[in-house]
Structure 1
Amino acid sequence: MKVTGHLMALPPGLFCFVNEMNHNAALHNGLPGVRVSPPPIGGQNVEISGFRSDGWLNAEGDAVLVRIKNQPSQVLVTIYQLANLPDASPKLQVRQLLGEPNIAANSGPTTKNDTSNPSSAKNANIVAHIQTRGDVGGAFGEWIGEKGSKNWIEGFTVTSPEGIAAEDLTYQAVLGRGWLSPWVEAGQYCGSRGMALPLLGLRIRLSGAAAEKYDISYSASFVGGASSGPVSNDETCEAETLAPLEAFQVTLTPRGRKTGKSRK
């Protein structure tokens, strides 16, 4: 095993680190693996949120969001790879999604967490983690989030209903122009918590037996008043301005049943 560490200096803003798919390395238990962390000293301006709970970026396309606040700071990138293999180096990509001034400018009013209905997210088909509010849940066909609130969505989970396998309902978050998070299966969280990092849209895909039995469509509204959708299976739902996602609606319809859809 070969382990190397690198200090990377970044300006204030929001960044996405992706360990791109390495088909050769995938044969070696996901190596080369990458971890992104604050440095031992001076990491007070660094916030990191991964799309998986164990912190790894494996060679199958994992990603992590990094926010640098207030002033330029360093992050520690540690690479784990198998020695003496020509294809053992990771395909690590780093892309800036937002500058720190843009994040601050889009902030909505600060309010206390909404605890008036703490059970609203329990047993819900869809749960969104909303800035200043926390987790808010709802059913397919309902709007999740509040239009015009200026409170953006930081992450979401879609639970597959009975009869749809988790691997047949997958989704991504829009992180920047032409930049999406890795696919996650139904029931898994996609996004960040507590970092004030907005999602900029979403993409949902039905496949396998689910795609044969159901049609899916989804719409969204964004901070500033923009809207998008309804769009259908495997299409990206985002604003032309890439404004933060404020609310969204997912409709799941059995094949053969027609429903009226309107743009709102």
Structure 2
Amino acid sequence: MSKPVEHFAAPGFPAVKVTQAPNIPQGLVTISALDEEGIISNPGGAALVRVNRGPAQVLVTTYSLPNDTTEIPDVQVARLSGPVIRPAEEGASSDIAGGDAPHPGAQNMPEISAHIRSQGDVTGSFGNWVGEPGSKQWIEGFGLSPKKDVAPEDIEYQAMLGKGWLSPWVEGGTFCGSRGMALPILGLRVRLKNAAAENFAVMVEAYFVDGSQVERTNADAVISAESHAALEAFKLDIVPLKSASKGASPAAGRGRKKTA
């Protein structure tokens, strides 16, 4: 549906708002947007809709000014979790990967890849930062493909898509999250499996856009800020399990504000 709006100033319109449809039981659908009012007005804006149990309906309303000839924004719907969803064709403006199939050429992929707001796709390696602490540019998705000690099939990970909402586990060589939809991930979870889990541990350090920092000796837990701020940068290390145990500190696993 579409409604003319007379009492708003022109900037920011036309706009779109996603709400729960009338007569839908409370708790069936959770909707969150980057704007506190739930308005999607800027190019690339997005809203996150979680259906806790289905079927369920949402209401998408477009708002415009009287006599405004500006084209109403297109609405693209993409699924972030659930059954396997193949990535968009190469070169497309957005990719959705809440559980893409493992890439057949995982060994040829960079150790770490990520999609960062306003920067696009970036690559990195274990032991180095992906994203820039303090940049306020959030990460939308990432993929891992270790090159030594641990094989891609021996690592799996999740993206925190919203408060209390994790993507499905995906295997090394798989992109997890989204691309080009302005949807930040709020954290991540990484763990090893098979024989790798008996010999190695994943150590992680992460920064968030609110300035908080989290470190863990072993990342087999959700790494997120207490405020649920968007993930800004992270660094992963794969170390021998005995070294990880010796290097554990009382502060490991607790969030804290970074210092200059």
If the length of structure 1 is used for normalisation, what is the TM-score? Answer: 0.57
- After TM superposition, give the deviation of residue 179 of structure 1 in Å: 1.6
Q: Deviations over 1:112-146 (max 9, x none)?
A: xxxxxxxxxx8531111100101111111111000
CA contact (8 A) 1:217 1:230 kept: yes
Counterparts of residues 94-243 of structure 1 (less than 5 Å): 123-243=109-229
Match in the other structure for 1:54? 86
Structure 1's 151 and 227: CA in aligned 2 closer, same or farther, altered over 3 A? same
Structure 2: distance between partners of 1:176 and 1:218: 20
Q: Structure 1 unaligned segments of length 5 or more: list them.
A: 1-7, 21-37, 56-62, 66-121
CA contact (8 A) 2:114 2:121 kept: yes
- After TM superposition, give the deviation of residue 155 of structure 1 in Å: 0.1
Match in the other structure for 2:48? 14
Structure 2: distance between partners of 1:19 and 1:184: 22
- Give % identity: 44
- After TM superposition, give the deviation of residue 255 of structure 1 in Å: 3.4
SS of the residue 1:211 aligns to: helix
Structure 1: distance between partners of 2:235 and 2:149: 21
Structure 2: distance between partners of 1:19 and 1:250: 34
CA contact (8 A) 1:126 1:158 kept: yes
- Report whether the alignment pairs 1:254 with 2:240: yes
Q: Which amino acid in 2 is paired with 1:171?
A: Y
Structure 2: distance between partners of 1:190 and 1:45: 22
SS of the residue 1:212 aligns to: helix
Counterparts of residues 29-40 of structure 1 (less than 5 Å): none
Aligned length: 178
Q: Structure 2 unaligned segments of length 5 or more: list them.
A: 1-19, 22-28, 32-37, 39-46, 55-59, 61-71, 88-96, 100-107, 253-257
CA contact (8 A) 2:127 2:237 kept: yes
Q: Deviations over 1:172-197 (max 9, x none)?
A: 01122222110000010000011000
CA contact (8 A) 2:113 2:124 kept: yes
Q: Deviations over 1:91-117 (max 9, x none)?
A: xxxxxxxxxxxxxxxxxxxxxxxxxxx
Q: Deviations over 1:216-262 (max 9, x none)?
A: 11111011211111241411100000000000010101234468578
Match in the other structure for 2:44? none
Structure 1's 141 and 205: CA in aligned 2 closer, same or farther, altered over 3 A? same
CA RMSD of aligned residues (A): 3.6
